[in-house]
Amino acid sequence: MTGNIIELDEQYYSKLSAIIKSEASIEKMFKDEDLEFLTRRGFIVKSEVNELDILKIWWKKGFSQNVLTLTLEPTLRCNFACTYCFEDTTNGTTMGDKEIQKLLRFIKKYMTE
Compute the least distance from the CB of residue 84 to ligand SF4, in Å.
7
- By CB under 6 A, is residue 81 in contact with ligand SF4? yes
- Which span sits near ligand SF4 by CB under 6 A: 46-54, 62-70, 76-84, 102-110? 76-84
Scanning 7-15, 40-48, 55-63, 73-81 for contacts with ligand SF4 by CB under 6 A, the matching segment is 73-81
Q: Write the CA distances from 61 to 50, 58, 66, 106, 113, integer angstroms.
A: 17, 5, 8, 20, 18
Short-list 78, 113, 111, CA closest to 93: 78
Give the Cβ contact number of residue 38 at 10 Å: 18
- Amino acid identity of residue 108, one-letter, is K
Select the residue interacting with ligand SF4 from 55, 78, 100, 104 (CB under 6 A): 78
By the criterion CB under 6 A, which residues form the site for ligand SF4? Answer: 78, 80-82, 85, 87, 89
